[in-house]
Structure 1
Amino acid sequence: MPLHPELSTASLIKLTSFLCWSWSYIYCAAKVPGKCPEWYSRAVTLVHGSVATLAGLWQCDVLNLSRKRLTSKITAAHYSVMVWSWGYFAFDLLWCIIYWTDSYVMLIHHLSALIAINVYMGKDYTGCTFPCTLALMEITNPLLQARWFLRYEGYDKVILYYVVEIIYLISFIGLRGIFGTYLTYKILHSDIFDMDEKLISLVFYIVSLIFISEIIGYVAYKYKTKIEEFKGFLIEVGYILNGHW
């Protein structure tokens, strides 16, 4: 039996998006030879993360966010961002499978993103909900990629690397952990989101918590000495102040 016309069109558009992202990876590898596969993948990821953040923030328009805008009819611009991001996540999921990186969480993250986009593409009245979600999920991504490129090029001992890393770590924990907890609570207790949207939010929140636990472990391991030095500094300051008073 032939596929439903709408399903065929949607599938073709998503396939086109996937091929465009795949072509971008191949083009990058051809223009910048001599790098490892992850370098090219992260270059593509940097493009998606940067543009997705800007497009998501523009469509979300946080300052004018309202119940009406979150439940308004999806526009062509909203749909375009969904399709565009679906192609990227499909490409990156395939890349992660081919070049296995031992990160089950990342595979779950990409698979969840694909399912979430499919769900939102099937709805008519979710307004700017997806762009807002995309912006929150991707806003720290450019910092993550910049940190990786600095380390890859041997600049992991310069002050710029530490500045980028610290800003990334604080931003990720603040946005995904603190602000994400608040948003997830509001979404789960809201009557304007369907059950599948609430489930998607919960899955992304759990994935974010896993990422945060890994970040905390990384910080504890890498900055243990510096943290101890800072504690010692605070103790000395305390002694000085107590002696002064």
Structure 2
Amino acid sequence: MELAVGVALWSSLFTAVRFILFPSRSHDFSNRIVSLVHAFVALALCTLSLHDWRHPFQPLASPASPAQVRAITVSLAYFIYDFFCCLLEVPFDAATALHHLVSIMGLCYGFLYKVSGTELVGCLWLMEMSNPCMHAREILKELGLSFAITFTIARMGFGPYLTFITLRANNPLTVKLGASGIQIVSVFWFYKIARLVRYKLKKQVKSS
């Protein structure tokens, strides 16, 4: 019952993203939004199911705890949803479909027999660790915001701090002037990029 509810919830989230929140976006875009949500949920559930932070992969070959079963069930429901979602993707990605089938078989065994909880949750945790960056990159690419986000984080996030500590340190005046000049230029380009992003977003809202 819990598994069926989970599949229904992931499918409902996709439907909401695809047809209500972002109707003008692609099938892949909507599915990646759902995948991004799953990645964070799975990582949180896997982390909360740890028995001992000092020994995260212990105990081995032991019955799955209720917290581990919950993490396995939520992710199994997601992979079942995503497998069928992949079948509708054009062009069809056989490698991704095969990956989902293998994941479903492994998680399904743990779900049915409640065994090897540590191993399955550890594998799930490692698989999902890199997924947020992968999905976020593709989402930003479709939105046309990849460069803008990277520029903002680097130049307007870390840049001012580096400029500040450069000015406070006992650096030559030339270095301080150079750091200040680069930061001023960065602010100027940030302003221009922000205007462009604002224009593109307004255009996208009108077209949808």
TM-score range for the pair, normalised by the shorter chain length: 0.5 to 0.7
- How many angstroms apart in 1 are the aligned matches of 2:45 and 2:144? 32
TM normalised by structure 1 equals 0.55
2:56 maps to what in 1? 65
Count of aligned pairs between the two proteins: 151
Say if 2:16 is the partner of 1:27.
yes
Q: Retained in 2: the 8 A contact 1:93–1:110? A: yes
2:64 to 67, 74, 77: 74
Secondary structure, aligned partner of 1:128:
helix
Contact 2:57–2:122 (8 Å) recurs in 1: no
Question: Which residue number in structure 1 is paired with residue 120 of structure 2?
Answer: 130
Q: Which residue is equivalent to 2:158? A: none
Choose 14-23 or 32-41, whichever is displaced more.
32-41
| Cα distance per residue 1:109-147 (max 9 Å; x no partner) | 101111111111233442322111111001100001111
Match of 2:135 in 1: 145
Decide whether the 8 Å contact of 1:57 with 1:132 is kept in 2: no
Which entry has the higher C-alpha Rg, 1 or 2? 2
Change (3 A) 1:153 1:125: closer
**Aligned equivalent of 2:41:** 51
Give 3-state SS (helix, strand or coil) of 2:25's partner.
coil
> Does the CA contact (< 8 Å) of 2:46 and 2:122 recur in 1?
yes
User: 1:48: Cα distance to partner?
Assistant: 0.3
Q: Which moved more, 1:17-26 or 1:117-126?
A: 117-126
Compared CA separation, residues 137 and 62, structure 1 to 2 (3 A): farther
Q: Which TM-score applies when normalising by structure 2? A: 0.65
- Which amino acid in the other structure matches residue 154 of structure 1? G
Hey, what's the Cα distance between the residues in 1 that align with 2:78 and 2:44? 16
- Bigger drift between 71-80 and 139-148 goes to 71-80
In structure 2, what is the equivalent of residue 18 of structure 1? 7
Cα shift at 1:91: 0.9
Give the secondary-structure state (helix, strand or coil) at the position aligned to 2:49: helix
Change (3 A) 1:94 1:125: closer
AA aligned opposite 1:140:
S
CA spacing shift, 1:127–1:94, aligned 2, 3 Å: closer
Deviations 1:185-206 (A, max 9, x none): xxxxxxxxxxxxxxxxxxxxxx
**Deviation for aligned residue 1:92:** 0.8
